[in-house]
Amino acid sequence: MKILILGRGHKVVDILDSFNARKGEVTVVTSDDSLLHDLLERRVTRVYADPKLVKLAEQKIDIGADDLVVVTDYHEASLRETLDNVTAQKLPATILAVTHLSIGDLAAAYPHVFFKSERAIYRNEMRDLVRRVATTNKVASLRTIAKAAGRVVVVIWGNPDPDAIASAYALRELIADDVPEFTISYLGEYKRPENKAMVDILKIPTVHWTPDLIRPGSAVATVDAQPSFFELNGQLKFDIVIDHHPLTELGGLRFADVRPTYGSTSTILTEYYVNTGVRMSRKVATALFYGLKVDTGNLTRNVSDADVNAFRYLRNHADENMVRTIELSQMPATMLDFFGIAIANKKIARDMAFAYIGQLENPETCVYIADFLIKLSGVSWSVVACRTKEKIVVVFRSDGFRKHAGKVAEELFKEFGTAGGHRTMARAEMALVELQKGQLPEVSDVSIERWLLTRLALVRKPMRKFLT
């Protein structure tokens, strides 16, 4: 592809340099004497002529369909005259005009010309600059807290998932030089085999949380969660919170970075590395890549531009063989029995599929089945529930179109326990002992299923047919 640039002023040189083209690929047409000296030092063909009047054929400048013509000028009148001249020659090439002017009227006058606003370029660059500066300040604050404490304990809420594990591990490696002791702990259990495979394959050190982990002076952090998630663990007081869930009451924190528009906390940690220039190891990149993939469903849900950028960066730095090995560890053969129960017990009313599985040792089974049911044709809501010895667990999935699974989960079950999530995925957990005080006449699968259907019917009336 050949490139032809017509115009005046330093913008011509800026545009020329942005292409980083090889010798012979670029021709510059200008009548600006001040540019000639600058162009001498660049590998470019120079044509001294007025862009508003030049006849390209007479200058033996051959432009084909695969080539690019770039027009720029400081003054609108000159820009229009140059565009009039170029378009009148009926060039087969793409024509691009770069200008600081408002492009509305120009685009209407020249419908076959592509316009790029310098204002938009500056705006995007400034946003990136502000983001980099803000990230640098945030990482500096984290380092200050870590150095002062000398010991950091990360507490993962609930059962460790890939996003939380990856974020905790990335934070550990990010500030490794600033804190001699860094512990990653979790409150729940490794219920899903792929999550256990992740920590084993990447050799991520984690321990089950116990109160004695937090000694006086320790800096306590949580990732992929907020203080409100730990209502049943009131003894935990946090210094650091990094999360992407909808913002709740944070309380008095020394450091908080909550970005609800991001699809994963792994994206936030990726920006910490990229925007501060800290080297990211292949193991950290692999962990963050897998955490981002899982939380966004391979960039199919709750995705922002930041997630896409992080995905692109991490993909080039992660070990894809490790990722594949982790992903192939997902489902034990015993899971098939529970799929059979769910399919036999399914209840579908219009766009909602519901299944109550009964008592399970591992409620994470509901996640696999909910992900399966949401793929059924015509289904835009899937709700799968089970009970353990202590609680009822309800998992929500939605297609996200004019729906918010997290808000529905909160509306239906928040008053009975914990509930919340994102547009496309949410979860509720309720202690059986509390429900027995007024909601459940008896703890049996029949009464639990009926109570859940009654609650769901409050927001999805078609589910009422299963209550008659």
Query: pLDDT tens for residues 308-363?
Result: 999 999 999 999 999 999 988 877 778 889 999 999 999 999 999 999 999 998 89
Phi, psi of 188 (to 5 degrees): -90, -135
Looking at residue 181, what is its pLDDT? 96
Q: Residue 210, exposed/middle/buried by CB under 10 A (0-12, 13-18, 19+)?
A: exposed
Q: Which amino acid is at 378?
A: G
Instruction: Give the separation between CA 412 and CA 407, rounded to whole angstroms.
Output: 9
Please report the pLDDT score of residue 102 as a whole number: 86
| CA-closest candidate to residue 128, choices 259, 263, 305 | 305
Instruction: Give the three-class secondary structure for 23.
Output: coil
pLDDT per residue as tens digits for the range 44-76:
888 999 999 999 999 999 999 999 999 999 899
pLDDT band at 23 (very low <50, low <70, confident <90, very high): confident
Residues 209-249 have pLDDT tens digits of 999 999 999 999 999 999 988 876 566 889 999 999 999 88
Which residue ranges form the domains of the chain, and what is each CATH number?
A: 3-112 (3.40.50.720), 127-327 (3.90.1640.10), 335-467 (3.10.310.30)
Q: Among residues 467, 419, 413, which one has the least CA distance to residue 439? A: 413
The token pair at 274 is 């990229």
Per-residue pLDDT, 24 = 75
The pTM score is 0.67
Q: Which residues pair with 463 in a beta bridge?
A: none
C-alpha 339, offset from chain centre: 30
Please answer whether residues 220 and 238 qualify as being in contact, where contact means their C-beta atoms are separated by less than 8 angstroms.
yes
> What integer pLDDT is reported at residue 20 of this predicted model?
77
52 SS3 class: coil
What would the mean pLDDT of 188-209 be, rounded to a whole number?
93
Burial class (CB in 10 A: 0-12, 13-18, 19+), 176: exposed
User: Among 289, 281, 294, which Cα is nearest to 320's?
Assistant: 289
Spatial CB neighbours of 281, under 8 Å, sequence gap ≥ 6? 173
Task: Give pLDDT tens digits for 259-289.
Answer: 999 999 999 999 999 999 999 999 999 999 9
Tokens at 136, concatenated:
């640098």
Alpha carbon distance 26, 259 (integer Å): 44
